[in-house]
Amino acid sequence: MEPVASAGGENVGWDALGLPILFEGPHELTVIKPAGMATELTSDPKGVSLIARVRAAAARDAAPKLPHRLDRVTRGIVVVALSADAIRFHNESLRDRTWEKVYLARVNGTLSDRPERWIGVHMVHLRTRGGRSIVVRSGGKRAVTEILALAPTPDREDEAHALLRLHTGRYHQIRATMAHLGAPLVDDWLYADPVPPGNARFYLEHVALRFTPYGEERPRVLHRREDPDREPIDPSLRAALDRQLKVWEENDGEKR
């Protein structure tokens, strides 16, 4: 199975971005952002952020905007809307929670030894404070994260890879939730270990997305199966991801 979506469209110089492109249409561009690249910057005179680079490469009549963002340290799928109609449509889609996202994270602990304790849906309430999300008992925003699968990392016995599905999209939702559960992301300087930002062992990836492009009736499933920059993962985790992608595709097929 190879669920990577692609589409033709007017050539506006996207190759100049130097980034993997998963989907190119008249109203959206979907790329894989590397860790270390800002999605957007308040001040970007050198044009180093993802959105600045897209705007530099876009056709003159395009108006690239971001319906969502990834932290600088997070790699993975980013959708860029290329028209005013598209950004309105995707903002509404996100509010209606029609996008479905799956992430891959490296976490501390041997969680895969007792997967039944962790697999499933976890709900917390989050409040943003000082650039962090804090778990609170009341007054916060509901954050729902589902752990789909766990497997030991190939290189460390005391760490695991977690496959996570987001049911809501809160600020630092995965990082705050996993830390609250006692399995923070490895070298997460905000929620766990006091290490400098940018530590090479921190790993979080937006690995798969199901969304409907503007003007289309059917959702698309985006995923780059063979990604040379992805951390090596256990075959059982790869199989779990394939099952989730298959569920999405089968559900969409039933609706046709």
Q: What is the per-residue pLDDT across 71-97, written as a single tens digit (0 to 9) for each?
A: 999 999 999 999 999 999 999 999 999
Torsion angle (degrees, nearest 10) of CA 71, 64, 141, 187: -10
The domain that contains 141 carries what CATH number? Answer: 3.30.2350.10
Answer yes or no: is 139 within a domain.
yes
Answer yes or no: is 114 within a domain.
yes
Torsion angle (degrees, nearest 10) of CA 104, 106, 111, 116: -10
One-letter amino acid at 132 equals R
Asked if residues 210 and 30 have their Cβ atoms less than 8 Å apart, the reply is no
CA distance 41 to 86: 21
- In order along its 256 residues, the chain shows pLDDT tens digits of 333 333 334 445 788 899 999 999 999 999 999 999 999 999 999 999 999 999 999 988 888 999 999 999 999 999 999 999 999 999 999 999 999 999 999 999 877 667 778 999 999 999 999 999 999 998 899 999 999 999 999 999 889 999 999 999 999 999 999 999 999 999 999 998 777 665 668 999 999 999 999 999 999 999 999 999 999 999 999 999 999 999 998 877 656 5
Answer yes or no: is 147 within a domain.
yes
pLDDT at res. 138: 87
One-letter amino acid at 253 equals G
For the full predicted model, state whether its pTM sits above 0.85.
yes
Query: Which residues are the active-site residues?
Result: 71
Answer yes or no: is 119 within a domain.
yes
Q: Which residues, other chains included, contact 140 with Cβ-Cβ below 8 Å and sequence gap of 6+?
A: 124, 125, 126, 127, 134
pLDDT at res. 10: 47
Of the candidates 192, 78, 176, the one whose C-alpha atom is nearest the C-alpha of residue 129 is 176
For residue 224, the enclosing domain spans 14-255
pLDDT at res. 9: 41
Asked if residues 6 and 24 have their Cβ atoms less than 8 Å apart, the reply is yes
Dihedral sign computed on CA atoms, order 117, 170, 231, 6: positive
Domain count, the chain: 1
Asked if residues 90 and 151 have their Cβ atoms less than 8 Å apart, the reply is no
